[in-house]
């Protein structure tokens, strides 16, 4: 295995400063213009951003809110989902997906994911439907759309709303259609590390439903249709002009950035093609993946000890390479959701993924040389661990 003996540069799992070098001058100009305008919240920049994002998602409306979590809460609220209702969602996602359901007073009903795509397994959804089920929230995890057609067919059959958690997949497509246009509503996060990131918190709900878009606008601003006339309770979840200005500068670059992420993924796939122990992300047929994350797992295979994910992460770190685990604990085993009454063993695929997955450096500015360096180090770590494991005759892994 060849990697430089002289001290190589660190490769972090994400580097936002590289992107800022490209767009920083324009962002600073736009932000300064906002500061000088005296107009700071829900102004022209927000309106332009809403229009542009709705168009990108192939939807009629977009309603800007304070962050992606609020987008989920407000989408559920606009659909009148609350106490006594159940919402189906995967346990292998960021906590906000199920947190939003719980904060509305509804119950998150978990359904396991597909081990190849990491997304909600449509074949398991119907068994979880009860008379109280009101909606399904599929998550487009790591930038790959969930398998929406069967999910939409089930929702149709049972009269359920579909709210896409599109926090990680802006710009992705499913059978030629953009994520965000597939369900009744779709929730975007512009958290700085997302594929389209603000310089702080920001979010959006996208929909083509007139009534839902009107309701969302009322709910995000204290339940007002007319200023200081409160028809119902709402929240303060307005978006500010500075964040919208930053996002408007970045938005035109999104498709090129997403294409670069795909290029990085192709470089990784080439570098790992002779490493059967490294299980690569598997894009589904007909999906335009946007690789928010490049997430792998190590499979020791028969006769070899599994290499622990945490050990691989610390070995990579010793070699100056960053990595992350999204997410180490599935939601049904999180203390915050213990009241739901789930147990270990309830969602075996999510539990296996939480134990084994590992995300490698992924951002548009990575070079081919950097990707190859990450890959050769990982190949080296895995093959030396497998050799050591085989020598010690560690018992066969029982897999998941
Ligand atoms: C980031 C994220 C959210 C929450 O978005 P915030 O803007 O951080 O509130 C929700 N769901 C998923 C899957 C996410 O990745």
Give tens-digit pLDDT for 8-66: 689 999 999 999 999 999 999 999 999 999 999 999 999 999 999 999 999 999 999 99
pLDDT digits (tens, 9 = 90+) for 280-306: 999 898 999 999 999 999 886 665 555
Q: Is the CB of 99 under 6 A from ligand 1?
A: no
Q: Which of 69-83, 225-239, 270-284 has the highest mean pLDDT?
A: 69-83
Please give the pLDDT value at position 389. Answer: 66
Range of the domain at 308: 254-392
Q: How many domains does the chain have?
A: 2
Helix (H) or strand (E) holding 219: helix 210-220
Task: Transcribe 249-294 into DSSP letters.
Answer: HHGGGHHHHHHHHHHHHHHHHHHTTT-TTEEPP-PPTTEE---SSE
Q: Is the CB of 167 under 6 A from ligand 1?
A: yes
Residue 77, SS3 per DSSP:
helix
Q: Is the CB of 93 under 6 A from ligand 1?
A: yes
Nearest CA to ligand 1 atom 5: 68
Q: Is the CB of 323 under 6 A from ligand 1?
A: no
pLDDT digits (tens, 9 = 90+) for 341-378: 999 999 999 999 999 999 999 999 999 999 999 999 99
Q: State the Cα angle at 330 between 377 and 289, rounded to 5°.
A: 60
How much distance in Å is there from the Cα of 94 to the middle of ligand 1? 7
Q: Residue 388: pLDDT above 50?
A: yes
- Give yes or no: residues 275 and 134 share one domain: no
Answer yes or no: is 2 within a domain.
no
- Give yes or no: residues 199 and 121 share one domain: yes
Answer yes or no: is 7 within a domain.
no
Among 195, 237, 303, 219, which residue's Cα sits nearest to residue 69?
A: 237
- Give yes or no: residues 309 and 352 share one domain: yes
The minimum-distance atom of ligand 1 relative to the CA of 72 is 10
- Give yes or no: residues 77 and 159 share one domain: yes
pLDDT (mean) for 185-206: 98
- Give yes or no: residues 121 and 75 share one domain: yes
How far does Cα 205 stand from its chain's mean position? 15
Of 235, 253, 271, which residue is a domain's last?
A: 253
- Give yes or no: residues 288 and 245 share one domain: no
Q: Is the CB of 240 under 6 A from ligand 1?
A: no
- Give yes or no: residues 164 and 185 share one domain: yes
CATH of the domain at 225: 3.40.640.10
Please give the pLDDT value at position 385. Answer: 78
- Give yes or no: residues 182 and 236 share one domain: yes
Of 195, 219, 253, which residue is a domain's last?
A: 253
The minimum-distance atom of ligand 1 relative to the CA of 201 is 7
Question: Which range (149-153, 187-191, 273-277, 292-296) has the least confidence?
Answer: 273-277
Asked whether the CA dihedral 144, 145, 150, 154 is positive or negative, the reply is positive
Please give the pLDDT value at position 192. Answer: 98
- Cα–Cα distance between 260 and 361 in angstroms, integer? 13
- Cα–Cα distance between 338 and 207 in angstroms, integer? 33
- Give yes or no: residues 235 and 110 share one domain: yes
- Cα–Cα distance between 167 and 179 in angstroms, integer? 10
Token couple for 22: 């490209």
- Cα–Cα distance between 161 and 184 in angstroms, integer? 6
Nearest CA to ligand 1 atom 6: 68
Whole-model pTM? 0.94
How much distance in Å is there from the Cα of 69 to the middle of ligand 1? 6
Of 197, 224, 253, which residue is a domain's last?
A: 253
The minimum-distance atom of ligand 1 relative to the CA of 70 is 9
């Amino acid at each position: 295995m060849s990697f430089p003996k002289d001290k190589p540069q660190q490769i972090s799992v994400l580097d936002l400063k590289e992107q800022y070098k490209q767009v920083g001058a324009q962002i600073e100009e736009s932000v300064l213009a906002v500061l000088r305008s005296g107009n700071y919240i829900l102004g022209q920049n927000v309106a332009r951003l809403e229009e542009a994002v709705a168009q990108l998602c192939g939807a009629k409306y977009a309603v800007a809110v304070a962050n992606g979590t609020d987008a989920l809460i407000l989408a559920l609220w606009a659909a009148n989902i609350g106490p006594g209702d159940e919402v189906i969602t995967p346990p292998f996602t960021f906590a906000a997906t199920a947190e939003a359901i719980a904060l509305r007073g509804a119950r998150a009903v978990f359904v396991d994911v597909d081990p190849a795509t990491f997304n909600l397994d449509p074949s398991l959804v119907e068994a979880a439907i009860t008379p109280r089920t009101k909606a399904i929230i599929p998550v487009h995890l790591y930038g790959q759309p969930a398998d929406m057609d069967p999910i939409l067919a089930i929702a149709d059959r049972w009269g359920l709303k579909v709210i896409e958690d599109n926090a990680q997949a802006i710009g992705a497509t499913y059978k030629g259609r953009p994520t965000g246009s597939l369900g009744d509503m779709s929730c975007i996060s512009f958290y700085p590390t997302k594929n389209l990131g603000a310089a702080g918190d920001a979010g959006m709900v996208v929909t083509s439903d007139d009534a839902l878009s009107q309701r969302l606008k009322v709910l995000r601003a204290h339940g007002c249709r007319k200023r200081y006339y409160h028809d119902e309770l709402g929240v303060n979840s307005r978006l500010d002009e500075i964040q919208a200005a930053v996002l408007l500068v970045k938005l035109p670059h999104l498709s090129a950035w997403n294409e670069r992420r795909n290029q990085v993924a192709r470089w990784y796939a080439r570098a790992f093609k002779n490493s059967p122990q490294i299980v690569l992300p598997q894009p589904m047929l007909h999906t335009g993946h946007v690789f928010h994350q490049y997430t792998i797992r190590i499979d020791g295979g028969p006769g070899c000890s599994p290499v622990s994910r945490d050990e691989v992460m610390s070995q990579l770190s010793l070699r100056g390479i960053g990595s992350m685990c999204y997410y180490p604990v599935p939601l049904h085993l999180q203390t915050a959701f213990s009241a739901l009454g789930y147990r270990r063993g309830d969602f075996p695929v999510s539990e296996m993924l939480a134990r084994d997955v590992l995300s490698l450096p992924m951002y548009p500015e990575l070079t081919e040389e950097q990707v190859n360096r990450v890959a050769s180090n990982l190949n080296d770590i895995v093959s030396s661990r497998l050799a050591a494991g085989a020598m010690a005759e560690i018992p066969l892994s029982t897999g998941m």
